[in-house]
């Protein structure tokens, strides 16, 4: 019978991949990430059998396009990897893929690609069910199984991704530029809420002091006793200038979130939200993998469109399908 044979082969390759990752084989790690990225059957099975060697600290690097996130990521990884393993994940929702990787980010981080303690991987955006968090969690888990002590996630800070990186990372570094507009616009967008550390990069360009001052002023107004005070740093990433201070502040923030009671509570609330999200995403995914579910969804949508059914009733019917999917 062909089906059990395929299953057997799949299990064998999962065992092999897991053993490979645990022994530090980069090809196995790369294959596993591809499986996660493609959201294939093997990935779900693989993730459920994986065990971690480390509990890596997650650093999120976010900010508008082109502010120097990759250059900074590379600099930070360079410092951290002197005595620790660093896994980098660059997420780009809009990129064109090239053989599973995003060339742009890869090329800009070339000085790291040969480093023994560093692994770089790019992932093109979101899966069908949206969001960066799920794929990111999986890749972080793979990095932890590999034994990395740090995971750095780079995302372009546009819209929803900003909020999601806040959920996924332990420390969020927001990278801005002196260029007119950037800072002011960002202040308006409320993006400061997600930052633990703000870096005004490209400080070699004029206006860096002005924007840093503006940011500090605005942050000062929000500061509360006992809460984390967001530092504003300046850097010239292309000259590796300012990296030491950024790494130092990341360490300080890490110390704060692990020892401060309020910060620990916030982290717990975020974890609750992530567990809920992951459980519901997995359930919907499982339901959709059952043949006929998607067709049923289409039918329901058609009925709602024709007003022959309310959205509430359609959702209730679909809920019953989800309920049944639990056991499959």
Q: Which residues bind ligand GTP (CB under 6 A)?
A: 65-71, 108, 156, 201-202, 204-205, 236-238
Residues 297 and 316: their CA atoms lie apart, in Å, by: 12
Residues 77 to 116: which contact Mg ion by CB under 5 A?
A: 105
191 vs 263, beta carbon nearer ligand GTP: 191
How many Cβ atoms sit within 10 Å of the Cβ of residue 59? 28
- Residue 236 interacts with which of ligand GTP, Mg ion, none, CB < 5 to 8 Å by class: ligand GTP
Please answer whether residues 107 and 138 qualify as being in contact, where contact means their C-beta atoms are separated by less than 8 angstroms: no
- Residue 28 interacts with which of ligand GTP, Mg ion, none, CB < 5 to 8 Å by class: none
- Residue 68 interacts with which of Mg ion, ligand GTP, none, CB < 5 to 8 Å by class: ligand GTP
Q: Where are the alpha helices (DSSP H) in the chain?
A: 2-22, 26-37, 41-49, 69-80, 103-108, 110-113, 133-146, 160-168, 182-188, 208-222, 243-259, 261-289, 293-305, 311-325
Q: How far is the CB of 189 from ligand GTP (least distance, A)?
A: 16
Residues 30 and 87: their CA atoms lie apart, in Å, by: 12
Q: Is 125 left (phi over 0), alpha (psi -120 to 50) or beta?
A: left
69 vs 234, beta carbon nearer Mg ion: 69
Pairing mode of beta strands 150-156, 171-176: unpaired
Q: How far is the CB of 191 from ligand GTP (least distance, A)?
A: 15
Order of strands, sheet of 171-176, starting from the edge strand that comes earlier in the sequence: 118-124, 86-92, 150-156, 57-63, 171-176, 197-201, 232-235
37 vs 105, beta carbon nearer Mg ion: 105
Q: How far is the CB of 116 from Mg ion (least distance, A)?
A: 23
53 vs 166, beta carbon nearer ligand GTP: 166
Angle at 275 between CA 35 and CA 144, to 5 degrees: 50
Backbone angles phi, psi at 158, to 5 degrees: -130, 125
- Residue 243 interacts with which of Mg ion, ligand GTP, none, CB < 5 to 8 Å by class: none
Q: How far is the CB of 68 from Mg ion (least distance, A)?
A: 8
Q: How far is the CB of 231 from ligand GTP (least distance, A)?
A: 18
Contacts of 174 (CB under 8 A, 6+ apart): 62, 63, 157, 186, 191, 192, 194, 195, 197, 198, 199
- Residue 122 interacts with which of ligand GTP, Mg ion, none, CB < 5 to 8 Å by class: none
215 vs 237, beta carbon nearer ligand GTP: 237
- Residue 202 interacts with which of ligand GTP, Mg ion, none, CB < 5 to 8 Å by class: ligand GTP
- Residue 66 interacts with which of ligand GTP, Mg ion, none, CB < 5 to 8 Å by class: ligand GTP
Count of residues in contact with Mg ion, rule CB under 5 A: 3
Distance of CA 123 to the CA centre of its chain: 10
20 vs 60, beta carbon nearer ligand GTP: 60
Contacts of 308 (CB under 8 A, 6+ apart): none
Residue 70 binds Mg ion, judged by CB under 5 A = yes
70 vs 249, beta carbon nearer Mg ion: 70
Which positions lie near Mg ion, rule CB under 5 A?
Answer: 69-70, 105
């Amino acid at each position: 019978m062909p089906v059990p044979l395929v299953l057997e082969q799949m299990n064998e390759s999962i065992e092999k991949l897991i053993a490979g990752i645990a022994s530090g084989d980069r090809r196995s790690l790369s294959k596993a990430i591809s499986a996660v990225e493609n959201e294939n059957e093997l990935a779900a099975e693989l993730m459920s059998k994986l065990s971690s060697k480390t509990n890596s600290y997650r650093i999120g690097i976010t900010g508008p396009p082109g502010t120097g996130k990759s250059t900074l990521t590379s600099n930070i990884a360079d410092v951290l990897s002197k005595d620790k393993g660093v896994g980098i994940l660059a997420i780009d929702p809009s990129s064109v893929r090239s053989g599973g990787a995003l060339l742009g980010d890869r090329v800009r981080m070339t000085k790291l690609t040969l480093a023994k303690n560093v692994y770089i991987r790019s992932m093109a955006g979101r899966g069908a069910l949206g969001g960066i968090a799920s794929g990111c969690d999986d890749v972080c888990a793979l990095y932890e199984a590999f034994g990395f002590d740090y995971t750095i996630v780079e995302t372009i800070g546009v819209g929803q991704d900003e909020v999601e990186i806040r959920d996924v990372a332990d420390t969020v570094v927001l990278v801005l530029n002196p260029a007119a507009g950037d800072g002011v616009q960002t202040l308006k967008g409320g993006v400061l809420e997600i930052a633990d550390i703000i870096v005004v990069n490209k400080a070699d360009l004029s206006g860096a002091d002005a924007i840093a001052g503006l940011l500090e002023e605005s942050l000062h107004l929000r500061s509360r006793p006992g809460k984390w005070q967001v530092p504003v740093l300046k850097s010239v990433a292309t000259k590796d200038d300012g990296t030491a201070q950024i790494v130092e502040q990341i360490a300080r923030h890490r110390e704060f979130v692990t020892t401060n009671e309020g910060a620990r509570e916030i982290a717990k609330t975020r974890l609750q939200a992530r567990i809920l999200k992951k459980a519901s995403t997995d359930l919907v995914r499982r339901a959709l993998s059952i043949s006929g579910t998607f067709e049923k969804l289409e039918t329901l949508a058609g009925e709602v469109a024709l007003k022959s059914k309310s959205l509430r009733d359609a959702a209730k019917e679909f809920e019953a399908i989800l309920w049944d999917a639990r056991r499959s």
